[in-house]
Amino acid sequence: MSRAERLLELMQCLRRRRHPVSGKALAGELGVSLRTLYRDIASLQAQGAHIEGEPGVGYVLQPGFLLPPLMFSAPELDALMLGARWVARRTDSELAHDARNALSKIAAVLPADLRQSLHDSALLVGPPDAVQDGLDCLPALRQAIRQERKLLIRYRDRQEHDTERVIWPFALGFFERVRMVSAWCERRQALRHFRVDRFVALEPLGERYPVRRQALLKRWREEQGIHADPLGV
């Protein structure tokens, strides 16, 4: 691994962590000595990276810094393209448009050879199974999740009974045949899952729910026995 690649990997190691990490752990992850690790951190700090910490305490990267030029390995570009292709074929048109925009921004700052390898990716996504979402409400659901806003929904259960509920949506799951919303249900006073194709009506209430989305997601993970995000972020 070249020094430039090592510095990029060090940045990624720090970005993946929200709390200070020891120099020993970072050196072990990169396969270098502590002395080399300290030199690399000093080099990044000299280039403007807001890395706080010191030996024996740990290091944390403050947000807002990109190491130019933006570089990815060929496998990383394959992963990005595969993810974007999945989004384009398995979600709604608005999110597909956003995925294409994100790829365009990445391609614009890549060197020419890497830009070509991005578009030449041989990892493809097959045709999706038929998904019946009923209401065209995925954009509204994503907005409510981002803004931590309550929703009034009319929901049809398995017995074809309609009920009105106020929910606090905090996550949206995309499966092969259904979309699932994870939310706090005021009616049940508990965390619940709702199938999007069973939404009969949806109305944003404009009212922020009183718990942070991250707290609801943490509680949901604990109840589901999920200890970490699969991407580690």
Q: Residue 12 pLDDT > 90, yes or no?
A: no
Half-sphere exposure of 41 (CA within 13 A, CB side): 26
Instruction: State the chain's mean pLDDT as an integer.
Output: 87
Q: Would you place residue 226 in the very low, low, confident or very high pLDDT band (cuts 50, 70, 90)?
A: confident
pTM metric for this prediction:
0.68
Is the CATH number 2.30.30 carried by domain 138-224?
Answer: yes
So what's the pLDDT on residue 73? 76
Token representation of residue 162: 């309609």
pLDDT digit string, tens, across residues 126-169: 887 766 656 689 999 999 999 999 999 999 988 999 999 999 99
- Domain spanning 3-61, CATH architecture: Orthogonal Bundle (1.10)
Q: Residue 210 pLDDT > 70, yes or no?
A: yes
So what's the pLDDT on residue 131? 64
So what's the pLDDT on residue 5? 75
Q: Residue 120 pLDDT > 80, yes or no?
A: yes
DSSP element (H, E) containing 231: none
